[in-house]
Structure 1
Amino acid sequence: MRLLWRVFWLNALVAMVATILLMIGPWTVSAPIRFTEAVILVAGMGSLLAANAVLLRWGLAPLDRLTQVMTTIDLLRPGQRLEATGSAEMTALISTFNQMLDRLEVERGTSSARALSAQEDERRRIAQELHDEIGQRLTAVLLDLKRLTDQAPEPMRADMRQVQEITRGSLDEVRTIVHRLRPGVLEDLGLLSALTALTNQFDTHTGLKVRRELGADLPELSTQSELVIYRIAQESLTNAARHAGATAADLELVPGHGGVTLHVRDNGTGITGLREGAGIRGMRERALLIGAQLTITSRPGQGTRVSLHVPVPTERGIP
């Protein structure tokens, strides 16, 4: 039973007992009790209960709001706070809860920054090992196969060439994985070139045709912000190609509103489930890391739109 009704029924019990005692006792009413006196007592008890219920509902309303926020709060959507209203005890409780949210958001941002930094370092390490070990060995195998094919008898050359093509395809796949893990173009040539290479990669290796529009006069962004924009664009296009069954997508990166805004739209099936997957939550964590605002809108059968606004001024001082 909710606290409101527990307090209400306790007060109601007290009021009913008091009324019964007045009705059967000779102290304030006639004995035997008159009909008019009983009506007055019952009306008084009803008025007392109604007033009691109204006052309790008004006094405990902040607690109901606090309970609702506590059950629906999401630290990946910062800024959700309650107005401290009500009695002194209730105001203190809500203020303490808001302060706890402040601390949790700061700690979540710090832990997310460390986790994402470790994730990027691990991706670089794996990409480097794939490039240096697997890639070089496959290249050596490909060269040996070419030499052996030239020396092999004519009946065996067709089979040797087929093995060459399989090896060459494996080498291309390793290079594609290395590029996804570690966007070297982003580090060497910048965000615009990296997004161009990303869209060309989806055009070449998937059935997703990406139309891009990249602004020329973008404000200067930090390395962390460029990496977040790239990863969110990569995740959005990957979701569109693998999970949404989209055949076309638009990618835009335009300046405005004190920063830059990334838009990724597709014509896929949209998000049908109520629960967000790990990919979307990962995008929210990355956006939270740089103080950006991420908005995802989707309707079943009408595609998905991902918008990321990165405010440039707030990124100063972010490690």
Structure 2
Amino acid sequence: MIVYRMLFARTFDPIALYRVEEGSRRSITADRVFFVDVNPSYERVMKVRRRDVIGRSFLDVWPISEPRWSQIIVDCLRLGHSVHCEGNSKEAGSFLEAIAFPLPPGMAAVIFLDKTKLKDADEALDRKKNELRNLATQLTLTEESTRRAIAADLHDRIGYDLVAQLHKIRALREKVRPALEAEMAALEANTEKLISESRSLIFELSPPILKEVGINPALESLADNLLTPHGIKWELRAKGTMADFWADDAVCVILYRMARELLINVIKHSGATRVTIIVNRGPGKIMVAVEDNGRGFPENFDLDHNEARKETKSFGLFSIRERLEPIGGTLKIISIPGKGATVAMACPLKLKEGEFK
């Protein structure tokens, strides 16, 4: 008993002992739970004196306390095992974790752990995570803006010059001597090749049709450029029109870039022979999904699991989700091992005012 009193008194964490009013164990309520003892830490943290609480009911001492703190006492006595809860305590002025456990016959003990610093650290970490997500999304949009500027510059300054040079070469071919015909033909062919390569480079940097025509034609062109050379058949299915459900340019940029990542994943990892790209527009939402008939994901695949994210494919999906979240987007994966996978991205049509503009 002496050892118990020493441990009880010297424990740094607040502890309170309670008893149930005789005859109320079958229908326990908070008003029938009475203080038996509290340790000095309880007095200090809860700002009460031991002599003022002993013998009084919980609700008498704490009449406006959050229900969670009395409910765990009731639950542990009723269920016969420990019960846990946590939350902000107005009385202590801190974030507490409470663990209640029964002490037969008809008694319970609750130990309180101050988790304020841990809670603050978790909230600070969450804020930093959100900041990183926002930065990643902003980086994607800034990168797209830079890509568009470079692509436009290439098109205006180099593309036009190459086309003008081609016209001059064709005109000269009609005037040169037959001995130079072969050389002029080779020069013409090389210029045509440069024009084709510059157009491909401009498309890879930033497809003009994404801004000028919309995401559907841009995704079709993307699929043709990425999938067709690998012998992967593809189709695009669409529901809802741009006229009825117009999406912000920034939303389309994110979805296009993330769809590109998904198609590259299909090529590298899935072993698929067919891909379906789905674009659905509706009130307030736009969805882009990539569906393939490849090997799918492992059973019980968990994108949040650290081991899963070590794989390139999984980390790519994790990165996609991180870029979608800041604009209110979501990522959903449906897969049957050996029977393909569907990865669906959904975003609001409009960004909040001032967000990623």
2:141 is the alignment partner of 1:104? no
The 8 Å contact of residues 141 and 253 in structure 2, kept in 1 or not, is answered as no
Matched, 1:142 2:142: no
Structure 1: which 5+ residue stretches go unaligned? Answer: 1-10, 12-57, 63-82
Aligned residue type for 2:253? L
**What is the match of residue 275 of structure 1?**
311
Could you say if the C-alpha distance between residues 116 and 88 of structure 1 is closer, same or farther in structure 2, counting changes exceeding 3 Å? farther
* One-letter amino acid of the counterpart of residue 236, structure 2: R
Q: What secondary structure, in the 3-state scheme, does the structure 2 residue paired with 1:151 have?
A: coil
Map Cα deviations across residues 203-225 of structure 1 (whole Å, 9 max, x no partner): 76663332111112563322221
The partner residue of 1:251 within 251, 272, 277 is 277
Q: Provide the TM-score with structure 1 as the length reference.
A: 0.60
Corresponding residue for residue 173 of structure 1: 197
- In 2, distance between residues paired with 1:141 and 1:279? 43
Q: Which amino acid in structure 1 is aligned with residue 312 of structure 2?
A: E
AA matched with 1:216: G
Alignment of 1:77-226 (within 5 A): 86=99, 88-154=112-178, 156-158=180-182, 160-202=184-226, 207-217=231-241, 219-226=245-252
Unmatched 5+ stretches in structure 2: 1-6, 8-80, 86-95, 100-110, 299-307
148-157 or 295-304: bigger deviation = 295-304
Determine the C-alpha separation between the residues in 2 that align with 1:303 and 1:152. 59
Once the two structures are TM-superposed, the CA of residue 264 in structure 1 deviates from its matched residue by 0.5
Cα 1:130–1:258 change in 2 (3 A) is: closer
Q: How many residues align?
A: 241
Measured in 1, the distance between the counterparts of 2:98 and 2:247 equals 41
Structure 1 position 85, deviation (Å) = 5.7
Give the Å deviation of 1:93: 4.6
Report which of the two has the higher share of strand. Answer: 2
By how many angstroms is 1:238 displaced? 3.5
Partners of 1:213 and 1:253 within 8 A in 2: yes
**Structure 1 residue ranges (4+ consecutive) displaced by more than 6 angstroms after TM superposition:** none
Change in Cα spacing, 1:158 to 1:248, as seen in structure 2 (3 Å) is: farther
- CA deviation vs aligned residue, 1:121-176 (integer Å, no higher than 9, x gap): 22123212322333234324423432343334445534543442333133112112
Given that residues 84 and 94 in structure 1 are in contact (C-alpha distance below 8 angstroms), is that contact kept between their aligned partners in structure 2?
Answer: no
The one-letter code of the counterpart of 1:232 is: M
Partners of 1:242 and 1:139 in 2: CA distance: 36
Contact 1:265–1:303 at 8 Å: present in 2 too? yes
When residues 232 and 110 of structure 1 are mapped into structure 2, their CA distance, relative to the original with a 3 A threshold, is: closer
Q: Give how far 1:311 is off.
A: 3.8
**Letter in structure 1 aligned against 2:245:** P
Partner residue in 2 for 1:294: 331
Decide whether aligned partners of structure 1 residues 93 and 312 sit closer, same or farther in structure 2, where only a CA change above 3 A counts: farther
Counterpart residue number, 1:305:
342
Find the residue that maps to 2:211 and give its secondary structure: helix
- C-alpha distance in structure 2 between counterparts of 1:154 and 1:247, whole Å: 50
Q: Percent of counterpart pairs with the same letter?
A: 27
**Contact 1:253/1:262 (8 A) holds in 2:** yes
2:215 maps to a residue whose letter is: L
Which structure's residues are more often helix, by fraction? 1
8 A Cα contact 1:262 1:309, kept in partner: yes
Q: After alignment, is 119-128 or 213-222 more displaced?
A: 213-222
SS of 2:312's partner is coil
Is contact 1:241-1:247 (8 Å) kept?
no
Distance 1:88 1:154, change over 3 A: farther
Q: Relative to structure 1, is the Cα distance of residues 116 and 172 closer, same or farther in structure 2, using a 3 angstrom cutoff? A: same
Alignment partner of 2:245: what SS? coil
Q: TM-score, normalization: structure 2?
A: 0.55
Q: Which amino acid aligns with 2:352?
A: R
Taking the aligned partners of 1:96 and 1:262, their CA distance within structure 2 comes to: 37
Shift in CA distance, 166/85, structure 1 to aligned 2, threshold 3 Å: farther
Distance 2:185 2:213 in 1: 36
Matched position secondary structure for 2:246: coil
Is the deviation greater in 130-139 or in 156-165? 156-165
Deviation at 1:307, TM superposition (A): 1.1
